[in-house]
């Protein structure tokens, strides 16, 4: 079984119950779970039966104990999570959108332990021992200058040990504030361009490629998505695959969702889901929870690429997209969908009928 390492920040997620606005829910009760892009990917891979380890730094207190226990209970390897007296666990507050009202996220993560712990605090040799893949997202270097330095060091260490490196771009305009002289877009672009030469698998949307790498479809391109994927590979030739979620937002509770995987070796693009050989996105008309859908896609793709019977490109993107679709039906960021459920959806079982 291939070992996958993820590194980043995990936070407490405090969500208003149901579809309440912040002003309706507080004072009152908020629903708390744990979330963070790389932690969510590790949790989803472990739930599918894969071998995943999550690396971060957390404060030495009971709340962080509960967080680590939550990950460990899902099968995530937490041995390399550092504990420190410095810093805190970050938080984010979520107001879930409905219909034409968008959701809203408020971050409270300044001074998080992982944002201030230096690169040399981590035992990279032990972390990457016997691993095949390393995943990081564009969120980690967005939280602080130090975190960006840790991200670069981690990617260099992984590369030296010949791990394959996946990067989920995840541009967050509310982050990237650690250099006031730059706009978030400028800072993200400069920083991510330094990390990209180490990447084997690019995961992101057209917007990520545009905002963070300055790559846009060529004028008059017959296939804009293929054109963007090819440009990414030309600029960063270590990249062998480009994966994108294809999302059409009808409303906050209705999205059409698909996926794309470009294989540079084949110079071919694979889409999912397919019906009668043609691309037809999943119509998700009653979204339960939008957050974590992209992470479920990333987790599904990495799981597929490390599972022999799922590794073929059309199968891998089909598995990743189905995993993301199902994640929209589950409260919280973690995707509690089984491999059997994902493969059933891949096979066309989309009615949602009760199993008796």
**CB atoms near residue 106 (< 10 Å):** 12
Distance CA 327, CA 47 (A): 13
| Separation of alpha carbons 55 and 82, rounded Å | 8
Structure confidence at residue 351 as a pLDDT band (50, 70, 90)? low
pLDDT digits (tens, 9 = 90+) for 143-162: 999 999 999 999 999 999 99
**Residue 349, pLDDT above cutoff 80:** no
What is the DSSP code string of 120-156?
A: GGS-HHHHTTT--EEEEETTGGGS-HHHHHHHHHHHH
Q: At what angle do helices 37-48 and 62-73 cross, to 10 degrees?
A: 40
Is residue 95 scored above 70 in pLDDT? yes
Which pLDDT score, from 0 to 100, does residue 229 have? 95
Contact 137, 333 (CB under 8 A): no
Which two structure tokens, joined as six digits, stand for 96?
């879930």
Rounded Cα distance, 215 and 199, in Å: 16
pLDDT digits over 184-200, tens only? 999 999 999 999 999 99
Three-class secondary structure of residue 179 per DSSP: coil
- Given a cut of 70, is residue 348 above it in pLDDT? yes
Most confident of 45-59, 92-106, 206-220: 45-59
At 281-332, the pLDDT tens digits run: 999 999 999 999 999 999 999 999 999 999 999 999 999 999 999 999 999 9
- What average pLDDT score do residues 217-224 get? 90
- Three-state DSSP at 320 gives helix
Span 47-71, average pLDDT:
98
- Segment 330-347 shows an average pLDDT of 96
**Continuous H helices in the chain:** 22-25, 37-48, 62-73, 113-116, 124-127, 145-160, 184-195, 206-213, 224-235, 293-305, 313-327, 339-346
pLDDT digits (tens, 9 = 90+) for 235-282: 999 999 999 999 999 999 999 999 999 999 999 999 999 999 999 999
pLDDT beyond 90 at 352 = no
pLDDT at 93: 97
Domains of the chain, CATH where assigned: 3-346 (3.40.1190.20)
What per-residue confidence (pLDDT) applies to 289?
A: 94
Confidence bin at 56 (pLDDT 50/70/90)? very high
DSSP state of 112: B
């Amino acid at each position: 079984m291939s070992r996958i390492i993820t590194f980043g920040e995990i936070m407490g997620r405090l969500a208003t119950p149901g579809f309440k606005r912040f002003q309706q829910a507080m004072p009152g009760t908020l629903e708390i779970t744990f979330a963070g892009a790389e932690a969510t990917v590790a949790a989803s891979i472990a739930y599918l039966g894969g071998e995943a380890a999550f690396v971060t730094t957390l404060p030495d207190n009971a709340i962080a104990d509960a967080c680590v226990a939550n990950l460990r209970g899902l099968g995530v390897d937490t041995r390399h999570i550092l504990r420190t007296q410095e810093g805190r666990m970050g938080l984010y507050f979520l107001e879930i959108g409905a219909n034409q009202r968008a959701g809203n996220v408020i971050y409270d993560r300044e001074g998080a332990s992982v944002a201030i712990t230096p690169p040399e605090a981590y035992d990279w040799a032990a972390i990457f021992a016997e691993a095949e893949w390393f995943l990081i997202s564009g969120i980690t270097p967005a939280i602080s200058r130090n975190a960006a330095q840790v991200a670069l060091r981690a990617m260099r260490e992984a590369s030296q040990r010949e791990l394959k490196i996946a990067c989920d771009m995840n541009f967050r305009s509310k982050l990237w504030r650690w250099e006031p002289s730059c706009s978030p877009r400028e800072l993200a672009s400069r920083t991510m361009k330094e990390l990209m030469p180490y990447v084997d698998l690019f995961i992101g949307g057209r917007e990520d490629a545009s905002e963070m790498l300055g790559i846009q479809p060529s004028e008059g391109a017959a296939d804009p998505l293929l054109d963007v994927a090819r440009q990414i590979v030309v600029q960063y030739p270590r990249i062998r695959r480009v994966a994108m979620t294809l999302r059409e937002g009808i409303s906050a509770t209705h999205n059409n969702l698909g996926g794309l995987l470009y294989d540079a070796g084949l110079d071919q693009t694979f889409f999912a889901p397919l019906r009668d050989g043609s691309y037809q996105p999943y119509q998700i008309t009653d979204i339960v929870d939008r957050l974590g859908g992209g992470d479920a896609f990333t987790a599904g793709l990495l799981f597929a690429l490390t599972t022999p019977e799922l590794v073929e490109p059309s199968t891998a993107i089909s598995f990743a997209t189905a995993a993301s679709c199902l994640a929209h039906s589950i409260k919280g960021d973690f995707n509690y969908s089984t491999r059997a459920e994902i493969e059933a959806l891949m096979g066309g079982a989309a009615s949602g009928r009760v199993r008796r």
